[in-house]
Structure 1
Amino acid sequence: MKRKTRRLIIYSGALIIVLFAGILMAEVLSIITHKKVDTSEGMKILQAADSADSKEIEEKMEKLAEKQQNSEEASKEDMAGNYKAVFEDSVVMGDSISGALTDYDLLNACSVVSKIGVELDDLDSQVEKVKEINPQVIFLSYGINDIPATDGDVKLFVKEYETLIKKLQKQLPNTRIFVNSIFPVRLEKAKEEPVYANLEEYNKALSSMCDENQIGFIDNTALVSDSYYEDDGVHFKAAFYPYWLARMAEVASL
């Protein structure tokens, strides 16, 4: 009898901890997603904990945990489908990697200004287009075409990138600017084109330039894995882009 009572106390204590954690997580999710999450069921189980036996408590704990997990997954799906709203006052400027954001219907056309194969010394038309849009936030994503174009000249690359930032700041003084790191290429691509072996050096110089100009730098290196690459070893599959969007939104507090 004592053993059963002790076991009941242990399960009750565990239930209280799990329920409080679950209710707190639900409230946080409701704030993030702007949805009202129903925590009444958890409160009812909590209030009934003293009178329930250990087996019943176990079953209720398992059911509640499963329900909360499903709720979290649904919230993530809602967020993934809501990037157009999250980035409605933002623009991502870049090359074909950025252009895929509209190709995969993740962002509206007005939130992406891109061009296949574009380089930093050929962006006047993009700057003018962004000026017309007048966004609150700009995310820059260039470099994959500039590494071969500058043939390893990191100083030239940084100078051209800084020139772009100055142009944007002059045209849109109230717009916040963030610079994305250059995405790494697949190892096979780096072997095929040795100039990409300097990619890390380019990113380090880009990060330093952002620090000097008090511009937010977004390091995306950790987001990339081989499974996300297209066959060319440079561009990415659709599954990669929600992670990139989430990273940008997080850094910019969108």
Structure 2
Amino acid sequence: MFKKIILTLVIGSTALTLAACGGGQNPQNVTSQQQVNETAPPEQPNSTSYKTIFKNSVFLGDSITEALSYHDILDDVNVVAGAGKTTELSLISGDVDKLAERNPQHVFIMLGSDDILLPPQITDNPKQYSLKFYAQLIDSIKEKLPKASITVLPVTPVTAEAEKVEPRYKNIDDYNQGLQELAGKKQIGFADLSSIFADSTHFYSSDGIHFKPEFYTRMLDLLKAQVK
């Protein structure tokens, strides 16, 4: 019963307040339709090669991760993600079982963008609250997929304009430091994506939070050495 209450609170709060998935509007509609459609190109160059390279991988995450399959860069089977997904929701909504069914050799976790925005009705310390469930999620994946490699991806930065709208995004660097420390404790990989943003901000969609397809191809180029 307690779990169901928490899940209901998180879902309700996410749909109403989490700017990472639509600035207070319905997150699924905004992310999957407005934000993504406005940036989707007619074709995705080299999408076939990425699908081949990452055919034995699954990316677990939220709306930012979900765009990998939406933009047809990776196949649906290689992505387990959804708008508004937090680490707790991922853990208790059966995502690990979905991973186990697909039996990947490599698992990439990209969660935390929505955890940072958890409201005070859920917790007054989003980082601590989130990393507790992140650790449980990693342990559960290890148990279900003992032979799979696991790599944690950091929460992606937002634009200065997006940070002005939602000041809690200032906590991204601190949260990522916690993620890197957790990955070290769990003896799994942690991928640094900072080089993607070092010289450009043109990867962002209009909300300054989500991304155009070019970001994902750059990200996969950085990660492909880990799956060879």
TM-score bin, normalised by smaller chain: 0.7 to 0.9
Larger Rg: 1
Determine the structure 2 residue equivalent to 1:203: 176
- Note the C-alpha offset of 1:142: 0.4
Determine the structure 2 residue equivalent to 1:223: 196
**Separation (CA, whole Å) in 2 of partners of 1:85 and 1:129:** 20
- Note the C-alpha offset of 1:125: 2.0
Q: Is 2:129 the counterpart of 1:160?
A: no
- Note the C-alpha offset of 1:253: 4.1
- Note the C-alpha offset of 1:131: 0.8
| Alpha-carbon spacing, 1:211–1:183, altered in 2? closer, same or farther (3 Å) | same
CA contact (8 A) 2:152 2:188 kept: yes
**Separation (CA, whole Å) in 2 of partners of 1:109 and 1:226:** 27
TM-score (norm 1): 0.66
CA contact (8 A) 1:180 1:218 kept: yes
Determine the structure 2 residue equivalent to 1:119: 86
3-state DSSP class of the match of 1:243? helix
* 2:216 pairs with one of 227, 241, 248: 241
**Separation (CA, whole Å) in 2 of partners of 1:100 and 1:115:** 9
| Alpha-carbon spacing, 1:80–1:106, altered in 2? closer, same or farther (3 Å) | closer
Determine the structure 2 residue equivalent to 1:170: 143
**Separation (CA, whole Å) in 2 of partners of 1:239 and 1:151:** 36
CA contact (8 A) 2:54 2:227 kept: no
Determine the structure 2 residue equivalent to 1:131: 100
| Alpha-carbon spacing, 1:101–1:173, altered in 2? closer, same or farther (3 Å) | same
| Alpha-carbon spacing, 1:159–1:188, altered in 2? closer, same or farther (3 Å) | same
**Separation (CA, whole Å) in 1 of partners of 2:64 and 2:128:** 23
User: RMSD between aligned alpha carbons?
Assistant: 1.7
What amino acid sits opposite 1:248 in the alignment? L
Determine the structure 1 residue equivalent to 2:165: 192
What are the residue-to-residue correspondences of 1:90-129 with 2, within 5 Å?
90-123=57-90, 124-129=93-98
- Note the C-alpha offset of 1:174: 0.9
Q: Which moved more, 1:126-135 or 1:154-163?
A: 154-163
Q: Which has the higher contact order (CA 8 A, sep 6+)?
A: 2
What is the aligned-residue identity percentage?
Answer: 35
What are the residue-to-residue correspondences of 1:43-82 with 2, within 5 Å?
81-82=48-49
**Separation (CA, whole Å) in 2 of partners of 1:207 and 1:117:** 22
**Separation (CA, whole Å) in 2 of partners of 1:217 and 1:90:** 16
Determine the structure 1 residue equivalent to 2:22: none
**Separation (CA, whole Å) in 2 of partners of 1:89 and 1:82:** 13
Determine the structure 2 residue equivalent to 1:69: none
- Note the C-alpha offset of 1:221: 2.2
3-state DSSP class of the match of 1:185? coil
Unaligned runs of 5+ in 1: 1-76
Query: Which deviations, in whole Å up to 9, do the C-alpha atoms of 1:119-163 show, x marking residues without a partner?
Result: 111113211111100100000000111101156532222111111
Query: Which deviations, in whole Å up to 9, do the C-alpha atoms of 1:170-194 show, x marking residues without a partner?
Result: 1111111000011001111111111
**Separation (CA, whole Å) in 2 of partners of 1:240 and 1:137:** 20
Query: Which deviations, in whole Å up to 9, do the C-alpha atoms of 1:96-123 show, x marking residues without a partner?
Result: 1111111111111111111111111111
Q: Give the number of aligned pairs.
A: 177
**Separation (CA, whole Å) in 2 of partners of 1:85 and 1:226:** 28
Determine the structure 1 residue equivalent to 2:52: 85
TM-score (norm 2): 0.73
Determine the structure 1 residue equivalent to 2:14: none
